[in-house]
């Protein structure tokens, strides 16, 4: 199957605004955010805690709705989708990776990765094949029978990534995926994202506060007080 051309848009946000109240104080989480993610592109959004990164990812995923503006996923307006349409979108078109690994402790790595396929009604033979492929992709098939408590933090995050991509979504959303990892494992996880983009054509939109990892991304944006600022990645170095 031919991959979409890089010039096409996979995701586009158009003048996104989102506010909410903390007590009596209004917080403007997003202020006119415009962002494009193309097929086979690794986009990193960097910013301090509270800058709006998580709000942006939640709206792209349809977990929250904007006050105004649009989120276009393959040119479909996410904000206008019904709950059943959003469920299908999140089940088949999006993968999620979070700071907390979110693995079920009584299930093995293989069973954790296989679970989304069970929920989607995929047959046993295909489940086994696709779960193995996903674990192979993150380098953890030899550890597939281990439970989360038997794995290191970096290994647990790799299992979480395998679970996120086992349904072969075109877009992976990662919210502070290296927040609980040391610098070596953090760099390895971002390197894995970069490799998946290159080899599998998956697009990655990752929010992070760690500026040391940004040189791996194709496109870097800084979130500051709900607004996006362009940055440049050049010759393997991030320039703010």
Q: Is the pLDDT of residue 181 over 50?
A: yes
* Residue 58 · residue 64 · CB < 8 Å: yes
Q: Is the pLDDT of residue 37 over 90?
A: yes
The residue-averaged pLDDT of 3-24 equals 82
What value does the mean pLDDT of the chain take? 88
Q: Is the pLDDT of residue 145 over 80?
A: yes
Count of beta carbons in the 10 Å neighbourhood of residue 137: 20
Least confident of 1-10, 134-143, 210-219: 1-10
> What percentage of the chain reaches a pLDDT higher than 90?
56
The residue-averaged pLDDT of 25-41 equals 93
Alpha-carbon distance 10 to 1, whole Å?
Answer: 17
For residue range 149-163, what is the model confidence (pLDDT) as tens digits?
999 999 999 999 999
Q: What is the pLDDT of residue 133?
A: 92
Phi, psi of 76 (to 5 degrees): -100, 135
Count of beta carbons in the 10 Å neighbourhood of residue 23: 5
Phi, psi of 211 (to 5 degrees): -70, -15
Alpha-carbon distance 199 to 210, whole Å?
Answer: 24
- The whole-model pTM stands at 0.87
Q: Is 7 exposed, middle or buried (0-12, 13-18, 19+ CB in 10 A)?
A: exposed
Alpha-carbon distance 203 to 13, whole Å?
Answer: 15
Q: What is the pLDDT of residue 220?
A: 92
Q: Is the pLDDT of residue 61 over 80?
A: yes
User: Strands, E, within the chain: which ranges?
Assistant: 11-22, 25-37, 42-46, 68-73, 76-77, 94-98, 171-175, 203-208, 219-224, 227-234, 237-239
Model confidence band, residue 179 (pLDDT cutoffs 50, 70, 90): confident
Q: What is the pLDDT of residue 80?
A: 87
Q: What is the pLDDT of residue 99?
A: 77
Model confidence band, residue 21 (pLDDT cutoffs 50, 70, 90): confident
Model confidence band, residue 112 (pLDDT cutoffs 50, 70, 90): very high
Q: Is the pLDDT of residue 194 over 50?
A: yes
3-state helix, strand, coil in the chain (%, to 5): 35, 30, 35
Model confidence band, residue 7 (pLDDT cutoffs 50, 70, 90): low
Q: What is the pLDDT of residue 92?
A: 87
Q: What is the pLDDT of residue 6?
A: 54
Dmax (CA) for the chain in angstroms is 55
Q: Is 90 exposed, middle or buried (0-12, 13-18, 19+ CB in 10 A)?
A: middle
Rg (the chain; Cα; Å): 18
Q: Output the CA angle 224-228-232, nearest 5 degrees.
A: 105
Q: Which bin fits 95, alpha (ψ -120 to 50), beta or left (φ > 0)?
A: beta
The residue-averaged pLDDT of 154-179 equals 91
């Amino acid at each position: 199957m031919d991959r979409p051309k890089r010039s096409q848009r996979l995701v586009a946000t158009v003048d996104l605004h989102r506010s909410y109240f903390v007590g009596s104080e209004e917080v403007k989480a997003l202020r006119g955010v415009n962002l494009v993610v193309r097929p086979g592109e690794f986009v990193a959004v960097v910013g301090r805690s509270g800058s709006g990164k998580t709000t942006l990812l939640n709206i792209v995923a349809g977990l929250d709705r904007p006050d105004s503006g649009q989120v276009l996923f393959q040119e479909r307006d996410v904000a206008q989708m019904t709950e059943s349409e959003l469920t299908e979108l999140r089940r088949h078109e999006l993968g999620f990776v979070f700071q907390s690994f979110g693995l079920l402790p009584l299930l093995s790595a293989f069973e954790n990765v296989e679970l989304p396929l069970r929920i989607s009604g995929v047959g046993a033979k295909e489940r086994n094949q696709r779960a193995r492929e996903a674990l192979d992709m993150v380098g953890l098939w030899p550890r597939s029978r281990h439970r989360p408590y038997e794995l290191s933090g970096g290994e647990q995050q790799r299992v979480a990534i395998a679970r996120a991509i086992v349904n072969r979504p075109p877009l992976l959303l990662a919210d502070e995926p290296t927040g609980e990892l040391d610098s070596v494992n953090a760099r390895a996880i971002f390197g894995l994202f970069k490799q998946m983009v290159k080899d599998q054509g998956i697009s990655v939109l990752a929010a992070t506060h760690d500026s040391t990892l940004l040189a791996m991304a194709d496109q870097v944006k800084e979130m500051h007080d709900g607004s996006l600022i362009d940055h440049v990645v050049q010759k393997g170095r991030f320039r703010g």
